Amino acid sequence: MNDYYGTNNMQTFTTEGGMAPAPKPPKNKNRHGAAKVVALIAAVAVVGGAAGFGGAYLAGRSRLTADIVSGGDTSSTVSDASVPAESAPDESSAPTLNELQSGAVRKEITGVEFNSDGSYMYTRDLVDAVRDSIVYIEASVNYRGTLTPYCTGSGIIISTDGYIVTNAHVTDDMDGFTVTVTTTDPETDTGATKEYEARLIGSDTDTDLAVLKIEAEDLPAAILGDSDKLSLGDDVVVIGNPLGLESSVTKGIVSGLNRQISSNERSLSSIQTDAAINSGNSGGAMFNMYGEVVGVVNEKLINNYAENVGFAITINEAKDVINDLISKGYVTGRPIIGITCLQVSEYVGAIQGMTPGLYVTDIDMSLPVARSGLVVGDTITAVDGTALTSVAELTDILNGKKPGDTVVATVSRTDELGRTRNVDIEIELGEFSGT
């Protein structure tokens, strides 16, 4: 639970919706947390000073518990061999979002009434038309060689051949995904479900977006609308899978526009709504009354003074991110220095006899920094004239820059005779490739 909590002006945001956490099988992954001294500049610099939403997601994935999983079914398992391995997209053949959306059409339902502007007159008709485009996602972790279901979330089908948009915090640290697609019979209003194993195409914690892919045909793809056309007070409908309750519908209004609920400069603006959002709604859709997706649900506000304050990422800003994730597997245009370093504070420097700053332990030879003259053993004491002793300070300096820009690093260098001198080195920034 602590992984997904954060505070902002005494407001608490969570992905877990207040659920008690289930024990998570241990994962054998190497992490660079706050307690670690080693920090990978490449990974941190690209996010512009903050990883993800500062650990402060709101709507969240719903953890699987014994009392509620897909309406009470707790017996589902996924075999280790059934999940395709994640692979980088083939850029030469990757479709564009516009191409994927070409097959998205409004579902025709007999007897539906529309307003004069083309919007649905009744919410029930809108829901009948779009609900099958929202899927149920079950994510698993690899525990002792077996994929074990751990949490659930929601997703939006954006193409008839199985591309699905969800939240990055639904897919983060997960090893396998099962997607349940529901097809509703309009005559009986009953749904037939089919499960697919999904592979992760790309994920971006900065914007909290991810894309999954299942191998399927003729799926009911949602139409992505224009979130810039929203106005305060507009009716919106949220469809997702809160607490594992599939295809749950809530309705509200647009309570706020262009909300920036994160300190991360690269996060996307959000739509605020009073529609009920709970754990497991993450990755689901916010629809306008035309049946178009205008937001990707990802957050809610939880504190003692707030009720029904939820958020969805605006679909207009999400489109470029989705395009990049599909075509490249990462978001383009983000700068990276490309070094691994030790953070040496003033205190540690005094104790260890080291120069305070970032002590370079490794350099990525595939990036421009390899041609800069920076070498392992240098200590970066300042960048562009600003003194620093931490990765966070460096990422603040890199905010607003782009690949190809240059920075001047002041380094402290000790030669073979033990003499120390300061050198200014011009470093061209590379592009972060998501790894």
Whether 256 and 364 share a structural domain = no
Mind listing the pLDDT tens digit for each residue in 318-349? 999 999 999 999 988 889 899 999 999 999 89
Whether 316 and 388 share a structural domain = no
CATH number at residue 395: 2.30.42.10
Per-residue pLDDT averaged across 13-29, rounded?
A: 40
Would residue 385 count as lying in a domain?
Answer: yes
From the list 279, 278, 277, 297, the residue with the least C-alpha distance to 287 is: 297
Whether 257 and 295 share a structural domain = yes
At 262, the pLDDT band (50, 70, 90 cuts) reads low
Q: What is the pLDDT of residue 176?
A: 94
Q: What is the pLDDT of residue 235?
A: 96
Evaluate if residue 287 carries a pLDDT over 70. yes
At 87, the pLDDT band (50, 70, 90 cuts) reads low
Q: Which listed residue (62, 159, 227, 282) is catalytic?
A: 282
Would residue 3 count as lying in a domain?
Answer: no
- Please check whether residue 272 is in contact with residue 257, taking contact to mean a CB–CB distance below 8 angstroms: yes
Evaluate if residue 158 carries a pLDDT over 90. yes
Would residue 7 count as lying in a domain?
Answer: no
* 8-state DSSP, 167: -
Q: What is the pLDDT of residue 91?
A: 62
Evaluate if residue 48 carries a pLDDT over 50. no
Whether 251 and 343 share a structural domain = no
- Where a domain ends, among 327, 362, 383? 327
Whether 348 and 306 share a structural domain = no
Q: What is the pLDDT of residue 93?
A: 74
Would residue 251 count as lying in a domain?
Answer: yes
Would residue 35 count as lying in a domain?
Answer: no
Residue spans of beta strands (DSSP E) within 167-317: 176-185, 190-204, 209-213, 223-224, 235-240, 248-259, 270-273, 285-287, 292-302, 310-314
Q: Which listed residue (128, 132, 206, 208) is catalytic?
A: 208
248 is catalytic: no
Whether 232 and 160 share a structural domain = yes
262 is catalytic: no
Evaluate if residue 41 carries a pLDDT over 50. no
Q: Please, what is the end-to-end C-alpha distance for the chain in angstroms? A: 26
Whether 102 and 216 share a structural domain = yes
Q: Which listed residue (62, 132, 159, 169) is catalytic?
A: 169
Q: What is the pLDDT of residue 103?
A: 87
Computed from CA positions of residues 250, 252, 256, 257, in that sequence, does the dihedral angle turn out positive or negative? positive
Would residue 18 count as lying in a domain?
Answer: no
* 8-state DSSP, 346: H
Whether 300 and 424 share a structural domain = no
From the list 314, 250, 235, 315, the residue with the least C-alpha distance to 281 is: 250
Q: What is the pLDDT of residue 345?
A: 92
Would residue 52 count as lying in a domain?
Answer: no
Q: Which domain holds residue 382?
A: 335-431
pTM, full prediction: 0.73
Percent of the chain with pLDDT over 70: 76
Q: Which residues pair with 414 in a beta bridge?
A: 420
Evaluate if residue 238 carries a pLDDT over 90. yes
Whether 277 and 174 share a structural domain = yes
- Where a domain ends, among 327, 353, 371? 327
Would residue 293 count as lying in a domain?
Answer: yes
Across 2-11, 78-87, 243-252, 297-306, least confident range: 2-11
Whether 370 and 300 share a structural domain = no
Whether 235 and 259 share a structural domain = yes
Non-local CB neighbours of 158 within 8 Å, separated by 6+ positions: 97, 100, 101, 104, 164, 165, 221, 222, 224, 322
Q: What is the pLDDT of residue 334?
A: 86
At 199, the pLDDT band (50, 70, 90 cuts) reads very high
247 is catalytic: no
From the list 194, 181, 280, 176, the residue with the least C-alpha distance to 238 is: 280
Evaluate if residue 265 carries a pLDDT over 60. no
At 63, the pLDDT band (50, 70, 90 cuts) reads low
- Where a domain ends, among 299, 327, 355? 327
Q: What is the pLDDT of residue 234?
A: 96
Q: What is the pLDDT of residue 322?
A: 96
Whether 294 and 272 share a structural domain = yes
Evaluate if residue 143 carries a pLDDT over 80. yes
CATH number at residue 238: 2.40.10.120
Mind listing the pLDDT tens digit for each residue in 89-124? 666 678 899 899 988 888 888 889 999 999 999 999
At 10, the pLDDT band (50, 70, 90 cuts) reads very low
Please count the structural domains in the chain: 2
At 370, the pLDDT band (50, 70, 90 cuts) reads very high
Which has more confidence, 1 or 220? 220
Rounded-to-integer distance, Cα 152 and Cα 309, Å = 22
Q: What is the pLDDT of residue 308?
A: 82
Per-residue pLDDT averaged across 181-198, rounded?
A: 83
Mean pLDDT of the chain: 79
Across 65-74, 168-177, 195-204, 289-298, least confident range: 65-74
